[in-house]
Amino acid sequence: MKHLSKIAENLLGQPMFGLLSRAQDMEREGKKVIHFELGDPNFDSPDHVLEAAKKALDQKLTHYTNSMGLRELREAVANYAERDLGFKPDLNQVLICPANALIDFTARCAADPGEEIILPGPGFPTYYSVIKYNGFVPVPVRLKEENSFRMNPDDIVEKITDKTRLIIMNTPQNPTGSVMTEEEVFKTAEIAEHSDVYLLSDEVYSKIIYGGKNHFSPSLRDKCKERTIVLGSLSKIYSMSGWRLGFAIGPESFIRKMGLLLETIMSCLPAFTQLGGKAALEGDHSFLGKRIQELNERRNLLIGGLNRIKGLSCVMPEGAFYAFCNIKGTGMDSARYCEELLENSGIAAVSGNCFGSFGEGYARFCYASTEKKEIEEALSKMEDFHKKI
C-alpha cells in the first residue's frame, strides 16, 4: 500500500458500526441476532417530523443553505435553550451540525496536536477516536462503579495541567447511563472556569432520564458565552438517528470557527432535514412520555435479569438507554466475552474497552431497540451461555 498520512494510520472509526456489520453478516447466514449494540431507538421519527420533511421536498427546498444552519432551526434551538436550559442564546451562538461532527470540530478548534483533552473513562468512543486520529492527548477521568459511574469533579481537578484545552462531560452518560447531580454539574463548570479551559457538555440524552430526576447543564453558569459548548442532538430523543441533525450552543467566536470548519468540509446541511428538525423541536412532545415509560420497563427488565446471572452485576442506570454490566466474574476479558456471546448465543453487545481502557471488565447492552420480549429471550440465552462458561 502507498504512503498514507499519520491521520489515516490512526483512524479507529466507531466500533459499534463494525460490530453491527458483523452481526448483519451472521443474519445473512440465517442466524438470529438480538441487537444490543447500536444506540438507535427502534421508535419511528414522529409523524409531524416526517411530514415537515416531505413538505419541504414538495416545495423543492433542495438547494444550498446557510452553512451555519437554517435561521428557523437555529431559532428553534435558541427557544429550546430558553425553555430547557434557562437562558436564550444569540443566534450567532448556535450552529446546526451532526452531533458527532461537533465533537470533532470542538476538539479541533480548541486543541493542537500534543495538547490534552479531559474526558470520561469509559466514554463515548467518538471522543477517543477523534482524540487519537488528531494526535491530541486523551486524559480520561475514571468513572467509578462504586459512584454509580458518575463523573466526580474532584477527579477532574487532579487531571488539569497547563496543556489542558478542553474538558468533555456527558450526562446522561454513554455507556454507563449515569446522571450527574446538580452539584457535580456546576462544580465541573466552576473547574472549567477556574482553569480557563473550554467545556464541552454532551447532552444528547438530556430528556431520557428515569424516576422523575432532572437534567442539569453547566451552561447556565456562563450562558455559553465564555467557555461552555452545549452539544445537542435530535438522534436519540426524537428517534431521528438517521437524519444526522445536532446542534452546538457556544461562545460566538468559537461557534463561528466551527461554522467555518463545517462550511469547509460539508458546505451546509439539507434544508429538508433541517425543517424536519425544526418540527421536532417545536412540535408536540407528548409522545416522549410514553417512549420513556417503555424504555424504563426495558431497563428494569434487563438490569434485573443481568443481576440474576452468575458472574454478572449491573448498576442501575438513571438515564440514556445503556446498561454497563460488570463481567469480571466470568474470568474473561471484555472483548472475548462479547465475541463468545455473539458467536454462541447470537447476542450483540459492545465490549467495554471500546469506551476506553477504563471500560475493560464491562460490556454495554443498549436497550433502545430491543423489545421486552427480545430482552427476555436474550436473558434466557445468556443464562444458558453462562452455565457453560
**Backbone angle region of 61, left / alpha / beta, with phi > 0 → left and psi within -120 to 50 → alpha:** beta
Nearer to a copy of itself by C-beta: 248 or 315? 248
Task: Quote the DSSP letter at residue 173.
Answer: -
C-beta closer to a copy of itself: residue 269 or 349: 269
Question: What is the C-alpha separation between 112 and 170, in angstroms, rounded?
Answer: 22
Select from 147, 185, 88 the least CA-distant residue to 315. 147
**Residue among 2 and 387 whose Cβ is closer to a copy of itself:** 2
Do residues 282 and 134 make contact, with C-beta atoms less than 8 angstroms apart?
Answer: no
Order of strands across the sheet with 198-202?
94-96, 246-249, 228-233, 198-202, 164-170, 116-121, 137-142
Q: Which is nearer to a copy of itself, 104 or 318 (CB)?
A: 104
Indicate the residue among 119 and 309 with the shorter CB distance to a copy of itself: 119
CA terminus-to-terminus distance, the chain: 42
Residue with Cβ nearer a copy of itself (7 or 389): 7
Minimum gap (Å) between residue 330 Cβ and a copy of itself: 29
288, 208 Cβ separation under 8 angstroms: no
In the bound complex, what is the minimum distance in angstroms from residue 51's beta carbon to a copy of itself? 9
Q: Shortest approach of a copy of itself to residue 30 CB, angstroms?
A: 19
- For residue 209, what is the DSSP state? B
What one-letter code names the amino acid at 186?
Answer: F
Query: At its nearest, how many Å lie between a copy of itself and the CB of residue 56?
Result: 10
Min. distance of Cβ 63 from a copy of itself in angstroms?
Answer: 5
Q: Nearest distance from residue 125's CB to a copy of itself, in Å?
A: 9
Of 288, 232, 262, 302, nearest to 105 (Cα)?
A: 262
